[in-house]
Amino acid sequence: MREVAVIGVGMTKFGEIWDKSFRDLVAEAGMKAIMDAGIEGKDIDAMYIGGMSSGGFVEQEHVAPLAIEVAGLEEFHIPATRVEGACASGGIAVRHGYMAVASGMHDIVIVGGAEKMTDVAGTEATNVLASAADREWEAFFGMTFPGLYALMARYHMHKYGTTPEQLASVAVKNHYNGSMNPNAQYKRRITVDDVLASPMVADPLHLLDCSPITDGAAAIVLAPVDIAKEYTDKIVRFRASAQASDTISLFNRSRFDALPVTIHAGERAFKQAGLTPKDIDLVEVHDCFTIAEIMAIEDLGFFKKGEGGKATEEGLTALDGELPVNTSGGLKSKGHPVGATGVAQVIEITLQLRGEAGERQVKDARIGMTHNVGGSGGTAVVNILEAI
Amino acid sequence: MAVPRYWREIPARYNLIGKKCTVCGRVYFPPRPICPVCRRKSAGKMVDYKLKGTGTVVSYTVIHSPPPHFEGEEPYVMALIKMDEGPHLIGEIVDCEEDEIKIGMRVKATFRRIMDDGEKGAIYYGYKFVKE
């Protein structure tokens, strides 16, 4: 296996981007990543794009050749593949790109992720997202996606005494971080009271416990470390890229106070890297709901099970805490264009490891992690990146 | 929704008919084609098994922001329920005040209308839960 580096990153602003189409977003993110890498279109050997439901959101499938076309790359006829794993689509695309380069199959690979979610009404977007859950045995009966995480939130609260204020403190922290991210959907700082006063979506989750509906695209360029040296002297390499699966349905899981899929992907990533949670300087976790961040920092081994809420409330995961979590603003504040999220997480860690994260820069960041979840925990991808 | 898609799930949704692995004796609901414990040994040995319909609330939520077919129904309570035979499922709890619902509460299945496809479309039925 060859060592793999990220040599270029690019993303659109995340938000309600009414004046740009799915294809505009893909072209913009891809072009920015290619320019950042200092490569030309002809240098690219393969492309992967993550997307959850371009069919559901913009009635367009087969988006890999669409991305090739908008990028003007058709004359090279490179393999272009779309991958889907609900909200982990981007993370899986990254891992496929990583495997293609690590295996020696391809040298320079571009990995993108995109979702255009605001071209349908809010209830329709909720319905499309519900297809990441079990349609026949969860959604059919009136269950929603926030509802599934609300079940886990209440269970966690009941078992460990996690409070609504602790859940809210995740959103407060992530909005604070996002206020310093020029690409974030929401730059407004909020308080615990704001979260608790926002309308209930699925009790105990308020509107401000939930990540938003977002348009956006993100792209990265990968290359073997040896080749990366020709393009950049700020090399960020993969120490691990791990993926795990579990049941699509929540009700068939072995436990409800954790995402077993995160535990398995995390353990695999640490094993591959030969590292432990203590070695990680910062992490981007999948905070689709506030409870998801609390479970993630426990399941990845950073905090004991049941203590994630308390750790967040005490500021241990703040920008200046012992383990900064979601410096980008996370899904909550940066936005969650589902297919793009897993790629955007790698972009944030890369920027931090290069020392290019601006106001939200974590001092002396050397090793970072990304954690991307599909559905209510059917899929997870965990990457560990290191500056060399 | 296409009628066959709804029709083929009727035994499970109307009568709580799941599957029992006759190798290990575990019960699955909704029905699973393969026992995840016995796997290939369970091939051809998964038989229909009707649940009694009683269980315990493991967790619950009140949905305030419903999906398209449930607009106007909100707020409604959805629960994660452990059935007495072992499997967990998701179902709505009805005929009960929100503040009566607690983790650990005993419930039993009841046959109800779930949703419809508009004035001229099919009406979909299935299980909901009431206090035991």
Residue contact B89–A251, C-beta within 8 A: yes
Residue contact A151–B91, C-beta within 8 A: no
What's the confidence (pLDDT) of residue A22? 97
| A234: in domain | no
Least CB–CB distance from B65: residue in A139, A144, A158: A144
Residue contact A142–B60, C-beta within 8 A: no
What's the confidence (pLDDT) of residue B1? 65
Q: Cβ of A346: how many Cβ atoms within 10 Å?
A: 31
Q: Are A383 and A377 in contact (CB under 8 A)?
A: no
Q: Which domain holds residue A99?
A: 4-121+214-228
> Does residue A243 share a domain with residue A104?
no
* Strands of B46-50's sheet in order across: B27-28, B17-21, B46-50
| A297: in domain | yes
What ipTM is given for this predicted complex?
0.97
| A10: in domain | yes
Query: Hey, is A134 helix, strand or coil?
Result: coil
> Does residue A264 share a domain with residue A380?
yes
Q: Quote the number of domains for chain A.
A: 2
> Does residue A168 share a domain with residue A35?
no
| A342: in domain | yes
What does the alpha-carbon distance between residue A284 and residue A331 come to, in Å, rounded to a whole number? 9
Least CB–CB distance from A142: residue in B9, B64, B76: B76
Name chain A contacts of B59, Cβ cutoff 8 Å: 151-152, 154-155, 158, 256
Q: Are B36 and B45 in contact (CB under 8 A)?
A: no
Estimate to the nearest angstrom the gap between the alpha carbon of A32 and the chain centroid.
19
A248 touches chain B (CB under 8 A): no
Residue contact B80–A141, C-beta within 8 A: no
Least CB–CB distance from A137: residue in B30, B59, B71: B30
Of these residues, A62, A87, A106, A210, which one is catalytic?
A: A87
Residue contact B67–A203, C-beta within 8 A: no
> Does residue A141 share a domain with residue A112?
no
Residue contact A251–B91, C-beta within 8 A: no
| A273: in domain | yes
Interface of B with A in 71-130 (CB under 8 A): 71, 73, 75-76, 78-80, 87-92, 103, 114-115, 124, 126, 128
Map out the domains of chain B as residue ranges.
52-131
What's the confidence (pLDDT) of residue A268? 98
B65 touches chain A (CB under 8 A): yes
| A126: in domain | no
Q: What is the greatest pairwise CA distance in chain A?
A: 59
Q: Which of A297, A334, A299 is nearest to A317 (CA)?
A: A297
User: Between chain A and chain B, how many beta carbons pairs sit less than 8 Å apart?
Assistant: 98
Q: Cβ of B94: how many Cβ atoms within 10 Å?
A: 14
Q: Are A230 and A223 in contact (CB under 8 A)?
A: no
CATH fold of the domain at B52-131: OB fold (Dihydrolipoamide Acetyltransferase, E2P) (2.40.50)
Q: Are A88 and A292 in contact (CB under 8 A)?
A: no
Strands (DSSP E) found in A37-170: 46-50, 80-83, 109-116
Q: Give percent of chain B above pLDDT 70.
A: 99
| Residue among A120, A128, A131, A141 with most chain B CBs within 10 A, to mutate | A141
CA nearest to A148 within chain B = B61
A144 touches chain B (CB under 8 A): yes
CA A232 to each of CA A8, A228, A378, A379, B50: distance values in angstroms, whole numbers, following the listed order = 9, 6, 37, 33, 64
Query: Hey, is A130 helix, strand or coil?
Result: helix
What's the confidence (pLDDT) of residue A122? 83
> Does residue A350 share a domain with residue A315?
yes
Q: Are A353 and A366 in contact (CB under 8 A)?
A: yes
| Complete DSSP assignment for A68-94 | HHHTT-GGG---EEEE-BTBTHHHHHH
Q: Are A188 and A215 in contact (CB under 8 A)?
A: no
> Does residue A323 share a domain with residue A250?
yes
> Does residue A189 share a domain with residue A221?
no
* Strands of A4-11's sheet in order across: A80-83, A46-50, A109-116, A215-224, A4-11, A236-245, A379-387, A367-374, A282-284
Residue contact A137–B89, C-beta within 8 A: yes
Residues 6+ apart with CB under 8 A from A363: none
Residue contact B63–A251, C-beta within 8 A: no
Instruction: Tell me which H or E stretch contains B60.
Output: strand B54-63
Radius of gyration of chain B (CA): 16
**Has residue B4 got a pLDDT over 90?**
no
Q: Are A294 and A272 in contact (CB under 8 A)?
A: no
Residue contact A142–B66, C-beta within 8 A: yes
Least CB–CB distance from B58: residue in A141, A155, A204: A155
CA A154 to each of CA A269, A348, B45: distance values in angstroms, whole numbers, following the listed order = 29, 31, 37
Name chain B contacts of A152, Cβ cutoff 8 Å: 59
Residue contact B80–A251, C-beta within 8 A: yes
DSSP 8-state code for residue A97: H
Name chain B contacts of A153, Cβ cutoff 8 Å: 61
Distance linking the first and last C-alpha atoms of chain A = 18
Return the exposure string of A242-261: e unless at least 16 CB atoms fall within 10 Å of the residue's CB, then b. Answer: bbbebbbbbbbbeebbbbbb
Least CB–CB distance from A137: residue in B73, B75, B90: B90
| A127: in domain | no
What is the CATH classification number for the domain harbouring A301?
3.40.47.10
What does the alpha-carbon distance between residue B51 and residue B66 come to, in Å, rounded to a whole number? 28
Of these residues, A96, A264, A286, A336, which one is catalytic?
A: A336
Q: Are B31 and B18 in contact (CB under 8 A)?
A: yes
pLDDT, block means (10 residues), chain A with 388 residues: 97 98 98 97 98 95 98 98 98 98 98 97 88 95 96 98 98 98 98 98 98 98 96 95 98 98 98 98 98 98 98 98 98 98 98 98 98 98 97
Q: Tell me, yes or no, if A210 is annotated catalytic.
A: no
Estimate to the nearest angstrom the gap between the alpha carbon of A39 and the chain centroid.
25
What does the alpha-carbon distance between residue B11 and residue A379 come to, in Å, rounded to a whole number? 30
> Does residue A331 share a domain with residue A293?
yes
